[in-house]
């Protein structure tokens, strides 16, 4: 059935002569002349506007910030990779943090704990977008997809030198097409939310109820 359908659909489409030639005007766009300070300001403003927390830190202080966030939120455990550069640093000082959990097996082996027993997850990011207040997250073998989705709190570290002005600039500068797209790439702009009931914003619908960004 599918092959016949494919042939029929494509044949019908190909029967029609190309009705327009509008490559013109398709490419290009706005470019902003924002310096680092302006990008950080805009990013922070946008993130806070959608009820995300943004903490500014340095390479020396970011572990203290993570520790403080864990204390403030009363977290019992934290899911963090022991394989990434950042994760290794947290694991190296495990006694400062709540119980550290690792995503070291396929989800099927520990789905129940992931869905009902993990308080928070810490991940790195692939970059950020200042214009919209957005994190670029590309899940990997070490930091799988569900880490930024299932636990009620998501802590993410963003390096300021990876903070781009626009989405288009990030795609271009990081060479997404040339590098090949990962299984899943995400733009995340705040904690999960909905306005489906009477246009009233409610946070924490299905994904994380809280998003904490640590800018370094």
Partner 1 sequence: MSSEFRNTVRANLAKPEVRANFYRAMDGLMTRRLDQFPDKVELERLRTQSMAIRANALSKLPELLETLEANLTRNGIQVHWAETAEQGNQIVQAILERHNAKSIIKGKSMVSEEMGMNHFLEALGIECLESDLGEFIIQLDGETPSHIIMPAIHKNRVQIAKLFHEKFPDIPYTEDVDELTQMARRILRDKFYAAPVGLSGVNFMVAETGTLCLVENEGNGRMSTTAPSVHIAVTGIEKVVESLSDVPPLLSILTRSATGQPITTYFNMISSPRKPGEKDGPEAVHLVLLDNGRSNIYSDPELLATLRCIRCGACINHCPVYVRIGGHSYGTVYPGPIGSILEPQKAGLDVHGELAQASTLCGACSEVCPVRIPIPSILNRLRYDGVRKDTANTNTVGSGKRRTLSEAATWKTWAWAATHPTIYHAGSTLATRFKGMLPTNLGAWTTVRSAPKLAESTLHQQAKHLGVDHE
Which residues within the stretch 128-187 sit at the binding site for partner 1 (CB under 8 A)?
131-134, 139-141, 144-146, 149-150, 166-168, 171-172, 176-177, 180-187
Q: Which of residues 103-122 bind partner 1 (CB under 8 A)?
A: 103, 105-108, 111-112, 115-116
Burial class (CB in 10 A: 0-12, 13-18, 19+), 91: middle
Residues 67 and 62: their CA atoms lie apart, in Å, by 9
What letters, b where the CB count within 10 A reaches 16 and e where it falls short, cover 98-134?
Answer: bebbebeeeeeeeeeebeeebbbbbbbbbbbbbbebb
Q: Which of 1, 37, 74, 95 binds partner 1 (CB under 8 A)?
A: 1
Residue 190 interacts with partner 1 (CB under 8 A)?
yes
- Residue 94 or 201: the one with the smaller Cβ distance to partner 1 is 201
DSSP 96: G
- Residue 1 or 95: the one with the smaller Cβ distance to partner 1 is 1
Q: Are strands 202-203 and 53-56 parallel, antiparallel or unpaired?
A: unpaired
Q: Which of residues 76-105 bind partner 1 (CB under 8 A)?
A: 103, 105
Q: Which of 8, 31, 36, 58 binds partner 1 (CB under 8 A)?
A: 8
The residue range among 10-18, 31-39, 61-69, 90-98 that interacts with partner 1, by the rule CB under 8 A, is 10-18
Q: Give Cα separations from 210 to 55, 106, 168 (angstroms).
A: 13, 25, 27
Window 12-31: contact mask with partner 1 (x via CB under 8 A): xxxxx-xxxxxxxxxxxxx-
What minimum distance in Å lies between the beta carbon of 63 and partner 1? 25
Residue 35 interacts with partner 1 (CB under 8 A)?
no
What minimum distance in Å lies between the beta carbon of 179 and partner 1? 10
Coil, helix or strand for 145?
Answer: helix
DSSP 18: P
């Amino acid at each position: 059935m599918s092959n016949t359908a494919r042939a029929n659909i494509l044949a019908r489409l190909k029967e029609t002569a190309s009705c327009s030639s509008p490559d013109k005007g398709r490419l290009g766009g706005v470019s902003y002349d924002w310096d680092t300070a302006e990008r950080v300001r805009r990013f922070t403003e946008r993130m806070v506007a959608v009820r995300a927390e943004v903490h500014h830190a340095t390479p020396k202080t970011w572990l203290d910030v993570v520790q403080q966030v864990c204390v403030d939120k009363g977290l019992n455990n934290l899911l963090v990779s022991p394989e990434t550069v950042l994760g290794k640093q947290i694991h190296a000082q495990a006694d400062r943090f709540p119980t550290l959990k690792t995503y070291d097996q396929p989800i099927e082996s520990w789905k129940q704990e992931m869905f009902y027993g993990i308080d928070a997850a810490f991940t790195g990011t692939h970059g950020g977008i200042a214009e919209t207040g957005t994190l670029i997250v590309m899940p990997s073998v070490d930091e799988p997809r569900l880490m930024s989705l299932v636990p009620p709190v998501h802590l993410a570290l963003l390096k300021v030198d990876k903070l781009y002005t626009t989405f288009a600039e990030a795609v271009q500068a990081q060479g997404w097409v040339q590098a090949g797209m990962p299984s899943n790439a995400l733009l995340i702009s705040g904690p999960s939310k909905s306005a489906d009931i009477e246009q009233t914003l409610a946070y924490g619908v299905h994904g994380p109820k809280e998003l904490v960004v640590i800018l370094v």
